[in-house]
Amino acid sequence: MTETSIPAAQPVNAPLPGQTVSQQVPPLPREFRAVWVSTVANIDWPSRRDLSSERQKQEILQILDQAAQMRMNAIVLQVRPAADAIYPSALEPWSEFLTGEQGRAPNPAYDPLQFWIEQAHERGMELHAWFNPFRARTASPKATQARNHISRAAAQVVRNYGDQQWMDPGEPLARQHTLNVIADVLRRYDVDGVHIDDYFYPYPVKNAQGTEIEFPDDAAWNRYLQSGGTLSRADWRRDNVNQLVRAIADLVHQEKSWVKFGISPFGIGRPDRLPAGITGFSQYDKLYADVETWLANGWLDYLAPQLYWPIQQTPQAFKVLLDYWQRQNVQQRHIWPGLFTSKIDQSEKSWPSDEILNQVDVTRSMQAGGHIHFSMISLAQNRKQIRQRLEQEKYLTPALVPATPWLENTNIAPPQLSLLTAARVRVQLPDPANTRWIAVWKKTDQQWLFSYQPASQTEVDLNNGAAVRQIVIMAISRSGQQSLPASMQF
C-alpha cells in the first residue's frame, strides 16, 4: 500500500442518485438536507409538556436516528419559541413547552440543547439554533410568564397584539435583548448555524369588522420622529428589522467565523418585483421584511424562503418563486428553500408524497444546493410513506452540507493516513480544532462508495462487503471546505 496526495476534486456536487465507476476520485456529494424541529406548541419535540428528562432524551434520539437513517445532514432546532429557552439561560426563562411551567427546569436537570448538539454531531448532522426574534407570547399559552420573562422584566418594550405579545422591533432594547440571547448561545454552544424565521413584525390581525389592527408601536414611532427621523412609518419599520438582521450577521461572524447565519422568510418577495402571474401576501408591506436588501448586501449565509405551495399552483408557483430568489442572490449566498412537507396529512387537502419528491427534484435541477422540510413530525410519522420514499428514492447516498467559503477563506491541511490493521486505517488530522468531518471515498472493483464521519472518529473501517482497492480521505472544515485528499491503495 502507498500513501499519496492527489489533486483536489472540484467542489461541485456529485450525482446524488448514485455514484458511477471512475478512475478519478469523484467530487464530494453536497446537498443541504435539513428539517425544522419545532418546540413551540410541542409540534415536534417534546411531544408533551409533562415528559420526564429521560423521555425527552429518548424522543431526541428517536428524531435524530430517523433523520440519520434518511441521510439528512442538518437539524434546525427551535431553541427560543417565545422569549424563552430550551436550555439553561441567565437571560430568559425555561420554556413552558419543556415542563409545562415557564421558568421550571427539567428534572432531573440536564441541558437539552447540549444534548441535541452532541447527539446530532455524533450522527453526522449539523445543528442550527433557531430563534424567534420578537415573539413574546404565543396565541394560546398554558402557563403564566416567569418573573424574568421580558414581558415582566422589561414590559415597556412588549406590546399586546391580538392574542399574542410581541417585542416591539422599534425599541432598541428589544433588538439588543435578542442579540444578547443569540450571543449567549454562540459563546456557550458548538452550534453550526444561527437561524431566524419569518416572524419580524407580526402577521396582521383583523378585528370583528374585518379591518387589520395596526401594530401598537406609537411610542417608538413618535420618539423616532421627535429625534428628527425622516423615513415613512413603513420604511422605518423595515429599517428596524434591517438593523436586527445586519447586527445578527455581524455578531455571528465576529463570535465564530465558521457559523452560518440563515433566515427563513415568507416565500413571496416585494410586490413591485414579482414575476408575472405571481400574487399573494406581501411580507415587505405587512411583516416589514426587506429580504431583497438582505440578499443584496450579503447579510446572511443562507436564505430558506418558505415556498409552501405546489409546483402547479400558478399564483405561487414553486419553480417561479425559487427562480425569483435565485435572481435576487447577487452575493451568491446559499438558497435552500423550505418545503411544506407537513402538508402531507390525512385531510382532504393533503398533498401527495410525490409533490415533495418533485420539489426536491426541482431544487436539484435548478442547482439550489439543498432544502429544508417543515417539519419533523411529518417525517417521523412517515405520512404517506414520505420518510421512506425520500430515503429510498431521493437520498440514496450520504451528502455533506455545501461549503460556505466566504466565511473562512483558509486552506485546511490534509490528513495523514496509516494502517492500523488489515481492515482499519488511522486518520491523523493536522488541524483537529477546525475539522468537523472526515470525508471517505472507498473504491472497490465495481464502484466508489462515499461516507463521512465526525472528526472525533479517527479510524476508518475497510470492511465493506467487497474488497477495497483504494481509500481517499479528506478533512472537512467547520465551514465545509475540503482539504487536499490523502490516499492509500491496497
Q: Taking 80 as the threshold, does the pLDDT of residue 418 lie above it? A: yes
The yes-or-no verdict on residue 448 having pLDDT over 60 is yes
pLDDT confidence of residue 14: 42
Tell me what pLDDT residue 463 has. Answer: 82
CATH number corresponding to 32-394: 3.20.20.80
CATH for 3-26+410-489 (3.40.718.10, 3.40.50.300, 3.30.70.580, 2.60.40.10): 2.60.40.10
pLDDT band of residue 23 (cuts 50, 70, 90) is low
Residues 75-121: tens digit of each pLDDT = 999 999 999 999 999 999 999 999 999 999 999 999 999 999 999 99
Rounded to two decimals, what is the model's pTM?
0.95
Cα–Cα distance between 134 and 37 in angstroms, integer?
Answer: 19
pLDDT for residue 102: 97
Residue of higher predicted confidence among 422 and 265: 265
Confidence of residue 481 (pLDDT cuts 50, 70, 90): very high
The phi and psi torsions of 319 (rounded to 5 degrees) equal -65, -45
The angle subtended at Cα 78 by Cα 72 and Cα 82, nearest 5°, is 165
- On whether the CB atoms of residues 404 and 301 are closer than 8 A, the answer is yes
Region 62-67: mean pLDDT is 98
Q: Is the model's pLDDT at 465 over the cut of 90?
A: no
Residue 220 has pLDDT above 80, yes or no: yes
| 119: Cα separation from own chain's centroid | 16
| pLDDT score for 22 | 45
With cut-offs at 50, 70 and 90, classify the pLDDT of residue 17: very low
Residue bearing cell 411580507: 283
Residue 56's pLDDT band (cuts 50, 70, 90): very high
Domain range list for the chain: 3-26+410-489, 32-394
Tell me the pLDDT tens digit for each residue of 297-329. Answer: 999 999 999 999 999 999 999 999 999 999 999
pLDDT at 3 over 70: no
**CA-CA distance, 479 to 54, in Å (whole number)?**
33
Q: Which of 14-23, 208-217, 269-278, 430-439 has the lowest mean pLDDT?
A: 14-23
CA 139/CA 22 separation, integer angstroms: 57
Q: Name which of 364, 439, 351 is nearest 394 in CA terms.
A: 364
- Residue from 312, 375, 412, 278 nearest 8 by CA: 412
Give the mean model confidence (pLDDT) for residues 138-160: 93
Q: Are 183 and 255 in contact (CB under 8 A)?
A: yes
pLDDT digits (tens, 9 = 90+) for 345-373: 999 999 999 999 999 999 999 999 999 99
Question: Which band of pLDDT confidence, cut at 50, 70 and 90, is reported for residue 11?
Answer: very low
Cα angle, residue 65 at apex, residues 61 and 68 outer, rounded to 5°: 140
Q: Is the pLDDT of residue 15 over 80?
A: no
Within 13 A of 421's CA, how many CA atoms are on the CB side?
Answer: 7
Burial class (CB in 10 A: 0-12, 13-18, 19+), 2: exposed
Q: Mean pLDDT score of the chain, rounded to an integer?
A: 94
Q: Rg of the Cα trace of the chain? A: 23
Least Cα distance to 77 among 103, 115, 104 occurs for 115
Q: Provide the edge-to-edge strand list for the sheet that holds 435-443.
A: 3-5, 486-489, 470-477, 435-443, 448-454
Q: Which residues contact 275 (CB under 8 A, 6 or more apart)?
A: 320, 321, 323, 324
Cα separation, 127 vs 129, in Å, equals 6
Give the residue from 327, 377, 379 showing the smallest Cα distance to 356: 379
pLDDT category at 172 given cuts 50, 70, 90 is very high
Report the pLDDT averaged over residues 389-393: 98
Position 24 scores a pLDDT of 87
Q: Please write down the HEC assignment for all residues of the chain.
A: CCEEECCCCCCCCCCCCCCCCCCCCCCCCECEEEEEECCHHHCCCCCCCCCCHHHHHHHHHHHHHHHHHCCCCEEEEEEECCCCECCCCCCCCECHHHHCCCCCCCCCCCCHHHHHHHHHHHCCCEEEEEECCCEEECCCCCCCCCCCCHHHHCHHHEEEECCEEEECCCCHHHHHHHHHHHHHHHHHCCCCEEEECCCCCCCCCECCCCCECCCCCHHHHHHHHHCCCCCCHHHHHHHHHHHHHHHHHHHHHHHCCCCEEEECCECCCCHHHCCCCCCCCCHHHHCCCCHHHHHHHCCCCEECCECCCCCCCHHHCHHHHHHHHHHHCCCCCEECCEECHHHCCCCCCCCCHHHHHHHHHHHHHCCCCEEEECCHHHHHCCHHHHHHHHHHHHCCCCCECCCCCCCCCCCCCCCEEEEEECCEEEEECCCHHHEEEEEEEEECCCCEEEEEEECCCCEEECCCCCCCCEEEEEEEECCCCECCCEEEEC
